[in-house]
Amino acid sequence: MKKNIETAPEKCTECMCCQLICSLTYTGAFNPERARIVIDPPREITFTDECVSGCTLCTQYCVYGAITKKSGV
Ligand code: SF4
Ligand code: SF4
């Protein structure tokens, strides 16, 4: 469980924007399979062990409110 990101899997549309920005930023490629956020049916959102501590970059690219930065963390 990632401490500084709130997930609302029921709002996720599987648009992959979060995965694309994560993989581009940390691996240099637009490749959802290399993202550190995992979108799993049925609508589960998890983070890999490689997810960078303190990072909340992907939340800035989710327009559906499925991942949001927790305040005060
Ligand atoms: S918090 Fe950062 S490292 Fe983790 S999945 Fe989102 S963009 Fe990737
Ligand atoms: S950006 Fe938001 S809606 Fe799109 S796949 Fe990621 S969590 Fe789901």
Enumerate the domain spans of the chain: 5-69
Classify 33 as helix, strand or coil: helix
The residue among 2 and 45 whose pLDDT is bigger is: 45
State percent of the chain over pLDDT 90.
86
Give yes or no for residue 21 CB within 6 A of ligand 2.
Answer: no
CB 5 within 8 A of CB 68: yes
CA of 52 to the centre of ligand 1 (A): 6
pLDDT of residue 36: 98
CB 16 within 8 A of CB 39: yes
With a cut of 80, say whether residue 73 has pLDDT above it: no
Kindly report, residue by residue over 15-41, the tens digit of the pLDDT: 999 999 999 999 999 999 999 999 987
Average pLDDT of the chain? Answer: 94
Give the CA radius of gyration of the chain: 11
Distance CA 71, CA 38 (A): 22
Alpha-helix runs per DSSP H in 3-71? 17-27
CA of 24 to the centre of ligand 2 (A): 15
Tell me which of 23, 38, 40, 47 to substitute to probe ligand 1's pocket, judged by most ligand atoms within 8 Å of the beta carbon.
47
With a cut of 90, say whether residue 42 has pLDDT above it: no
